[in-house]
Structure 1
Amino acid sequence: MTDDNETPAVRRNDRRTTRGTAEEEASRGGTAAFTRRNVIRSTAGAVGVAGLTASAGGNGSATCEVMATCNAADGSVSLVDASTHEHIETVSVYPDEDEEDALEDALVDQVEPEIMNAWARENYIEHVNVSPDGRTLYASRGHVGDVVAVDVETGEKRWETELPGIRADHQKLGPDGRYVYTSDIAVDQIHKIDAETGEIVASGDVHQHPHGIHYHHLPAFDREVLVNGSLGNMVLPDHETGDPFPHRLTFLDPESMETLRTAEFEEGVRPIAITHDGRKAYVQISYFHGFHEYDIDADEITRTVELPQTEHVPEDEGDYPLQSAHHGIDISGDGEYVCVAGTTSWYVAIVRRSDFELVDTIEVGEHPYWVRTAPDGEHAFVPVRGEDEVAVINYEAAKEVGRASVGSQPHVTEYGAIPRDVL
Structure 2
Amino acid sequence: MRFDGRLRATMSAVAMAAALLVPGAASARELVYVQASKSEEVVVIDANSFEPVTRIPIGGYTDDVVGLPDGTMAFTNVMLSNNSPLGSTVGEGGLVHGIDTATNKLVWETFVDGLPNHMAVNSNGRELYVTLADRSWIVVLDTRTGRILKRLFSVMGNHGAKMTPDGKHLVVGNMFIDAMLVYDAASGDVVRTINTREGVRPFQFDKQGKVYYQLSRFHGFEVRDLATGALEKVVELPKLPASVPAPEAYPHTVDHGLAITPDGRAIVAAASTGNYVAVYSLPDLKLRGTVPVGEDPNWIAIRADSKVAFVSNRKSNSISVVDLDGLKEIRKVPAGTLPQRLSVIDVP
Query: Aligning the two structures, in what range does the TM-score lie when normalised by the shorter sequence?
Result: 0.7 to 0.9
Alignment CA distance shift 1:276-1:84 (3 Å): farther
Q: CA deviation at 1:216?
A: 1.7
Alignment CA distance shift 1:132-1:352 (3 Å): closer
Distance 1:327 1:288 in 2: 10
Alignment CA distance shift 1:312-1:87 (3 Å): farther
Structure richer in helix, relative to its length = 1
Task: Please tell me whether residue 60 in structure 1 is matched to residue 24 in structure 2.
Answer: yes
Aligned mate of 2:281, from 327, 348, 352: 352
Map of 2:78 onto structure 1: 141
Map of 2:221 onto structure 1: 291
Query: In 2, are the aligned partners of 1:381 and 1:392 still within 8 Å (CA)?
Result: yes
Query: In 1, are the aligned partners of 2:294 and 2:320 still within 8 Å (CA)?
Result: no
Map of 1:260 onto structure 2: 191
Distance 1:135 1:153 in 2: 7
Distance 1:133 1:337 in 2: 24
Map of 2:17 onto structure 1: none
Map of 1:114 onto structure 2: none
What is the TM-score with the length of structure 2 in the denominator?
A: 0.83
Overall identity of the aligned pairs, in %: 27
Q: Which moved more, 1:349-358 or 1:381-390?
A: 349-358
Query: In 1, are the aligned partners of 2:135 and 2:155 still within 8 Å (CA)?
Result: no
Q: Secondary structure at the match of 1:323?
A: coil
Query: In 2, are the aligned partners of 1:93 and 1:150 still within 8 Å (CA)?
Result: no
Distance 2:328 2:120 in 1: 29
Query: In 2, are the aligned partners of 1:337 and 1:395 still within 8 Å (CA)?
Result: no
Map of 1:331 onto structure 2: 260
Distance 1:85 1:194 in 2: 32
Map of 1:183 onto structure 2: 131
Q: CA deviation at 1:248?
A: 0.7
Q: CA deviation at 1:151?
A: 3.6
Map of 1:391 onto structure 2: 320
Q: Secondary structure at the match of 2:55?
A: strand
Map of 2:169 onto structure 1: 225
What is the TM-score with the length of structure 1 in the denominator?
A: 0.69
Aligned mate of 1:408, from 305, 312, 337: 337
Q: Note the 1:81-230 alignment, pairs <5 A.
A: 81-94=46-59, 124-132=61-69, 134-143=71-80, 145-152=94-101, 156-165=105-114, 167-218=115-166, 224-230=168-174
Distance 1:61 1:133 in 2: 13
How many corresponding residue pairs?
A: 314
Cα shift readout 1:104-134 (whole Å, capped 9, x = no counterpart): xxxxx7xxxxxxxxxxxxxx11111234554
Map of 1:10 onto structure 2: none
Alignment CA distance shift 1:135-1:287 (3 Å): same
Q: Which moved more, 1:310-319 or 1:349-358?
A: 310-319
Query: In 2, are the aligned partners of 1:130 and 1:416 still within 8 Å (CA)?
Result: yes
Alignment CA distance shift 1:406-1:61 (3 Å): farther
Query: In 2, are the aligned partners of 1:206 and 1:230 still within 8 Å (CA)?
Result: no
Aligned mate of 1:273, from 204, 207, 210: 204
Structure richer in strand, relative to its length = 2
Cα shift readout 1:376-423 (whole Å, capped 9, x = no counterpart): 12221110111111112222332223332211111011121234xxxx
Alignment CA distance shift 1:254-1:349 (3 Å): same
Query: In 1, are the aligned partners of 2:56 and 2:105 still within 8 Å (CA)?
Result: no
Which residue type is aligned with residue 198 of structure 2? Answer: E
Cα shift readout 1:293-322 (whole Å, capped 9, x = no counterpart): 1111332110111112434865343157x4
Map of 1:247 onto structure 2: 178
Alignment CA distance shift 1:155-1:303 (3 Å): closer
Distance 1:313 1:213 in 2: 33
Alpha-carbon RMSD: 2.2
Structure 2 residue runs of 5 or longer lacking an equivalent are 1-21, 81-92
Q: Secondary structure at the match of 2:164?
A: strand
Map of 1:382 onto structure 2: 311
Alignment CA distance shift 1:309-1:195 (3 Å): same
Distance 2:243 2:255 in 1: 11
Structure number with greater CO (CA < 8 Å, separation at least 6) is: 1
Which has the greater radius of gyration?
2
Task: Please tell me whether residue 300 in structure 1 is matched to residue 230 in structure 2.
Answer: yes
Distance 1:147 1:350 in 2: 33
Distance 1:312 1:225 in 2: 41
Query: In 2, are the aligned partners of 1:288 and 1:326 still within 8 Å (CA)?
Result: yes
